[in-house]
Amino acid sequence: MTKHTWNQTSKKGTKWWENAAEVRHTDKLSRKHPVFPISLVKPYIQTGEDKFPSRNKTHTPQDIVEVEDSPVPVKKIINSRKIRLNGKDQRQYLVRFKNQTADKDKWLAEDAIPDGNLHLRKFRASRRD
């Protein structure tokens, strides 16, 4: 059995084994432990422009932003259901859109339906008959 000795001291005065390395972290990684085993540390090899002069620099991709089209007008509300979201009951309505087939119907919350009050009044009146 080999006997380990304390070899190095950090700026704060804490000691670690000779097979450990201390890393200085940025703010993002400040909660990570700064001392790692040497076996996890790999040497940095620069693959710079001097080795590959014809290689183009990589560009960081920009965030993809989905742009919503103008809302499709609602044809009618077909059905309703109650579901539980985040511990609360919420009523959703099956909405059919104008010039769309039945497979494009969507379950929407009351506040997400364009002109919801008008369509809900018609839907509730048709359910009473």
CB atoms < 10 A from the CB of 95, how many? 24
Phi, psi of 124 (to 5 degrees): -70, -35
Could you tell me the residue ranges of all domains in the chain? 8-40, 74-128
Cα radius of gyration (the chain): 31
Predicted confidence band of residue 17 (pLDDT cuts 50, 70, 90): low
| Residue 73 confidence (pLDDT) | 86
Nearest to 110 by CA among 69, 86, 81, 88: 81
State the average pLDDT for the chain: 74
Predicted TM-score (pTM) of the model is 0.45
Q: Which residue has the higher pLDDT, 45 or 69?
A: 45
Q: Which residues pair with 96 in a beta bridge?
A: 76
CATH of 74-128, one of 3.40.718.10, 2.40.50.40, 1.10.3720.10, 2.60.200.30: 2.40.50.40
Q: Is the pLDDT of residue 61 over 70?
A: no
